[in-house]
């Protein structure tokens, strides 16, 4: 996958959000951690379609995780609107990525260079670099 030099990479799952920047080349990413924002998950309407008790009891859907994904998207929206990054790659597990897409602002969408539906937030940087280079 092409990851432009200086592009930001957002790693998101239901509980963690890490912002990285590619200091390497387009096909040979070298990622550097920029921030790990602490998000307040307040948008619980994010999972309103998943509020059945059976799904909650079986662990199929966690409203806190969906709200965290929505909060990550809102944080990225604010940074995009403020012009704090030009290019962004979003990497998130499929459920979180789906929830985030519902909250993307037009300014964020303009800056997206791609999305990867993988859970990589707990992986070391060298492993993330390899996975993204081969995506």
Half-sphere exposure of 2 (CA within 13 A, CB side): 4
| Domain locations along the chain | 8-133
CATH (one of 3.40.50, 3.80.10, 3.30.450, 3.30.420) for 8-133: 3.30.420
For the stretch 92-122, pLDDT in tens is 999 999 999 999 999 999 999 999 999 999 9
pLDDT digits (tens, 9 = 90+) for 33-82: 999 998 876 655 544 454 445 555 555 557 788 888 999 999 999 999 99
The pLDDT value given to residue 124 = 97
| Total-model pTM | 0.86
DSSP 23-51: -S-SSS--EEEEE-PPP----GGGGGGG-
Specify the 3-state DSSP secondary structure of 94. helix
């Amino acid at each position: 996958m092409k990851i432009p030099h200086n592009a930001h990479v957002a790693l998101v799952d239901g509980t963690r959000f890490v912002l990285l920047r590619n200091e390497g080349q387009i096909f040979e990413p070298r990622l550097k951690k920029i921030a790990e924002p602490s998000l307040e998950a307040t948008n619980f309407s994010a999972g309103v379609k998943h509020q059945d008790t059976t799904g909650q009891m079986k662990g199929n859907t966690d409203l806190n995780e969906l709200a965290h994904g929505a909060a990550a998207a809102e944080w990225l929206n604010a940074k995009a609107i403020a012009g704090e990054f030009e290019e962004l790659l979003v990497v998130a597990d499929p459920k979180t990525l789906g929830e985030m897409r519902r909250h993307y602002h037009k300014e964020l969408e303009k800056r997206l260079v791609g999305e990867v539906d993988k859970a990589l937030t707990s992986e070391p940087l060298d492993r993330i670099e390899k996975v993204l280079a081969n995506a």
